[in-house]
Structure 1
Amino acid sequence: MLNFSVIGTGRVGKTLGRLFAQHKVFAISQLFSTSLEGSQRALAFIGQGQPVTELTKMVPADITLLSVPDDTFASVTQSLIDANQLKPGSILFHCSGAKSSRDLVSLCPALAQLSLQLASVHPVRSFAEPALAVSDFSGTICSVEGSPQALDVLIPAFQKIGAETVIINPEHKLLYHAGSVFASNYLVSLLDTAIAAYCAAGIAPDLAKKMAQSLAQNSLANISTLGTRDALTGPIKRGDLATVTAQAAQVAAWNTELGDLYQAFIKPTMHLAKRTSER
């Protein structure tokens, strides 16, 4: 069984470490965190691995997961190289949605001198709560790209923990990730805005949250069943542009920035409504 080390024991690192351990895909070797408390928490969660707080005390692994913020890729990878922690022929991969394996080399040119197999695997899901992510990971779509040798190992490994894998073009990684931002991050921001609008109209916060959640869940269910084109409802779908104009003005009067947000959604929604009417 190949051994697997995690560099960065945050939510993604802990979740994948536990899944690989539970499914006996890899032997979890070492868990690196800059704090002993962080690496020990990871050990308690994963159930395998040796907590490490100094890269120089690690043993090079067959597979290394770089699970750190994108902005630290270059410095952490260079530190791994300086500490001789990346053995020739081993796999180094990360789970960034925005960065590709090619970006990793661009950020840390010294990687080009090593005989490594590089890849990225982006699980299209939220890792807000690792225990929940572990329990319902099955069926998660994971977008992968990288060297053929790395993918020959990583694709079956992720499929064994329940993932559905899709190979993507590294040149389009940033645009691809924008889709995830719209579907996840901005969706949360949009619902927060909806709740704020309800509250500004006099609805109690708990009820406002319940109302926004109900509508969002119904819309998502309709998208799953009907697709976006037929799931669209509301005044733009009905062609009630007088209501849209009046509402845009009311939102802008309440909050200028959120008025701009409302306005920004009008044209895309009109285009979607037109696609619906053209069926």
Structure 2
Amino acid sequence: MKTLNIIGVGKVGKVLAKNFLRQQQFAIQQVLNRSMASASTAVAWLGAGRAVDAIAQLQPADVTMLTVSDDQITSVCQQLADAGLLKDGSVIFHCSGAKASTELQAARMAGATVASVHPVRSFANVDLLAEQFVGTICSLEGDEAALAVLVPALQAIGAETVIIQAENKLLYHAGSVFASNYLVTLMEVALRTYQAAGIPAEVAQKMAAPLARQTLENVFALGTQAALTGPIARGDMQTVVLQQSRLSEWDQQAGDLYRVFTQPTVDLAAARISDSHSEK
């Protein structure tokens, strides 16, 4: 079984490592965090590995997983290479959604093969996701030799793997940001708007929840065009203009957000009409 070192064990690192361990894909060798206390806590949670708090304490491993912050990937990789921890035949990968495997050039220069792995899931609840990882889509890109090791390991823990190109990482990750992060921001604006209209916060939650849940269900069951409802879908642009104006009076950011969404929604409604005509 190949050995695995983990650098910067946070939520993503914990979930992947726990599942790799459970399915006996890698033997966890060492866990490096910024402090010994943090590394020891991660080792205790995983139930495997040895905690260290300095690169000098690491021993070479067959596979190294970097789950450090994006701005630390290149420098940590360089430090590992300088310490002689990355050699011919070893694999190193990071788990950034936005950064490509090109961030690991120092490892390539040392003879290792490189990749990036990004699980497309929300990691808000680590304990839950660690137990419900099966079915998670993981995007990968990098060297063929690295992918030959990582793809089977990920599939063994129940992931669905998708190979992408390094030059498309930023666009790919932006899609995830729209589908997750900005969706949260949009719901925050929706809830604040209800409250600005005099709706108590707890009632606003009850009003927004079924709308949001049913809309998302419709998107994935029917497609975006069929799921679109509301004034723009009905062609009621007078209401749209009045709402945008009133929102801007109350909160300029909310008004600007409403305005930015208007034209893409008009285009989506128009595409639905065009497609329905072409089907006749």
Does the alignment reach a TM-score above 0.5?
A: yes
- Residue 38 of structure 2: aligned partner: 38
Kept in 2, the 8 Å contact 1:94–1:121? The answer is yes
Give 1:36 deviation, angstroms. 1.5
Kept in 2, the 8 Å contact 1:61–1:87? The answer is no
Q: Secondary structure at the match of 2:271?
A: helix
- Residue 203 of structure 1: aligned partner: 199
Q: How many Å separate the matches in 2 of 1:103 and 1:212?
A: 41
Kept in 1, the 8 Å contact 2:99–2:170? The answer is yes
- Residue 82 of structure 1: aligned partner: 82
- Residue 222 of structure 1: aligned partner: 218
- Residue 64 of structure 1: aligned partner: 64
Flag as ranges the 4+ runs of structure 1 deviating above 4 A.
none
5+ long unaligned stretches in structure 1: none
User: How do 1:170-185 residues align onto structure 2 when only pairs under 5 Å count?
Assistant: 170-185=166-181
> What root-mean-square deviation, in Å, do the aligned CA atoms of Structure 1 and Structure 2 show?
1.2
- Residue 21 of structure 1: aligned partner: 21
- Residue 254 of structure 1: aligned partner: 250
Give 1:113 deviation, angstroms. 2.0
Give 1:41 deviation, angstroms. 1.6
Kept in 1, the 8 Å contact 2:244–2:258? The answer is yes
- Residue 122 of structure 2: aligned partner: 126
Kept in 1, the 8 Å contact 2:73–2:94? The answer is no
- Residue 229 of structure 2: aligned partner: 233
Q: How many Å separate the matches in 2 of 1:99 and 1:144?
A: 11
Kept in 2, the 8 Å contact 1:232–1:273? The answer is yes
Q: How many Å separate the matches in 1 of 2:215 and 2:132?
A: 22
Q: Secondary structure at the match of 2:9?
A: coil
Q: Secondary structure at the match of 1:3?
A: strand
Give 1:272 deviation, angstroms. 0.7
Q: How many Å separate the matches in 2 of 1:187 and 1:266?
A: 16
Kept in 2, the 8 Å contact 1:123–1:142? The answer is yes
Q: Give the share of equivalent positions with the same residue, in percent.
A: 50
User: How do 1:130-141 residues align onto structure 2 when only pairs under 5 Å count?
Assistant: 130-141=126-137
Give 1:213 deviation, angstroms. 2.5
Q: What amino acid does structure 2 have at the position aligned with 1:128?
A: A
5+ long unaligned stretches in structure 2: none
Give 1:88 deviation, angstroms. 2.2
Kept in 1, the 8 Å contact 2:232–2:269? The answer is yes
Q: What amino acid does structure 2 have at the position aligned with 1:179?
A: G
Kept in 1, the 8 Å contact 2:33–2:39? The answer is yes
Q: Secondary structure at the match of 1:86?
A: coil
Q: What amino acid does structure 1 have at the position aligned with 2:260?
A: A
Q: How many Å separate the matches in 2 of 1:70 and 1:177?
A: 13
Q: How many Å separate the matches in 2 of 1:23 and 1:268?
A: 45
Give 1:78 deviation, angstroms. 1.7
Kept in 2, the 8 Å contact 1:98–1:177? The answer is yes
Give 1:99 deviation, angstroms. 0.8
Q: How many Å separate the matches in 2 of 1:16 and 1:232?
A: 37
Q: How many Å separate the matches in 1 of 2:180 and 2:214?
A: 16
- 92-101 vs 80-89, which moves further: 80-89
